[in-house]
């Protein structure tokens, strides 16, 4: 092992295998592989930055116990101590996986999508409308003027902003209730 003084503020060690270790006066330590393609810097505050031979950069924030990995293609992955993981794609899309395995997608056009472990999917559109797809086949649509529930059998129930409810059954029957729940119309299909 050879020791050199590069400056009066740091020490460089060259090991027999060709690896370099540089120690700075503030306690930061830099290790460089023999081929120069891999580096690891351990900072005085406990943070660690590693650059691999394929130019992937892995940064560990000691205080936050968080790892931030940047891949050569621009993908960034953040891993938090609570097992939350975020992926930031080069095109601007983001994917967040929460500890309960709920996955939230944030798209560049402003719309969002959440996929829950039970299979429920919530889509929030740019215009503020929300579409919820349940794992039982039901679907809900929320807009600024109504909320609508669609059932697998074709029945559709709509509740309007003024409280009025309209239910269209798959049989063709339509029932309308006022905001107090009183039936104001009930049409039963005619059988031929």
Instruction: Per-residue pLDDT tens, the chain, 192 aa: give them.
Output: 555 545 545 788 888 888 999 998 888 999 999 998 999 999 999 999 999 999 999 999 999 999 999 999 999 999 999 999 999 999 999 999 999 999 999 999 999 999 999 999 999 999 999 999 999 999 999 999 999 999 999 999 999 999 999 999 988 899 999 999 898 888 876 555
What span, in angstroms and rounded, lies between the C-alpha atoms of 28 and 130?
A: 50
For every residue of 98-161, DSSP letters joined together read -TTS-EEEE-TTS-EEEE-TTS-EEEE-TTS-EEEE-TTS-EEEE-SSEEEEE-TTS-EEEEET
Q: Can you give the length of the chain in residues?
A: 192
CB 72 within 8 A of CB 55: yes
The pair of three-digit structure tokens given for residue 129, joined into one six-digit string: 């409308």
Which pTM was predicted? 0.79
Rg (CA), the chain: 30
Query: CA of 112: how far to CAs of 82, 149, 160, in Å?
Result: 23, 20, 24
What span, in angstroms and rounded, lies between the C-alpha atoms of 171 and 45?
A: 70
For the CA atoms of 76, 80, 84, 85, what is the dihedral angle to 10 degrees?
10
- Please, which residues bridge with residue 11 across strands? 5, 23
């Amino acid at each position: 092992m050879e020791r050199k003084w590069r400056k009066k503020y740091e020490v460089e060690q060259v090991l027999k295998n060709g690896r370099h270790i540089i120690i700075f006066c503030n306690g930061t330590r830099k290790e460089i592989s023999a081929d120069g393609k891999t580096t690891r810097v351990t900072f005085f505050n406990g943070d660690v930055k590693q650059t691999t031979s394929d130019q992937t950069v892995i940064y560990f924030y000691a205080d936050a116990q968080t790892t931030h990995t940047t891949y050569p293609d621009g993908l960034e992955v953040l891993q938090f101590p609570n097992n939350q993981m975020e992926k930031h794609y080069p095109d601007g899309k983001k994917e967040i996986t929460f500890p309960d395995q709920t996955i939230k997608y944030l798209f560049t056009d402003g719309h969002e999508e959440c996929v829950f472990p039970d299979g429920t999917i919530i889509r929030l559109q740019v215009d503020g409308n929300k579409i919820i797809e349940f794992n039982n086949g039901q679907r809900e649509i929320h807009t600024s003027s109504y909320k609508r529930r669609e059932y697998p059998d074709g029945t559709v129930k709509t509740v309007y902003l003024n409280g009025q409810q309209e239910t269209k059954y798959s049989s063709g029957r339509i029932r309308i209730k006022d905001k107090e729940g009183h039936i104001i119309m009930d049409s039963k299909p005619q059988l031929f």
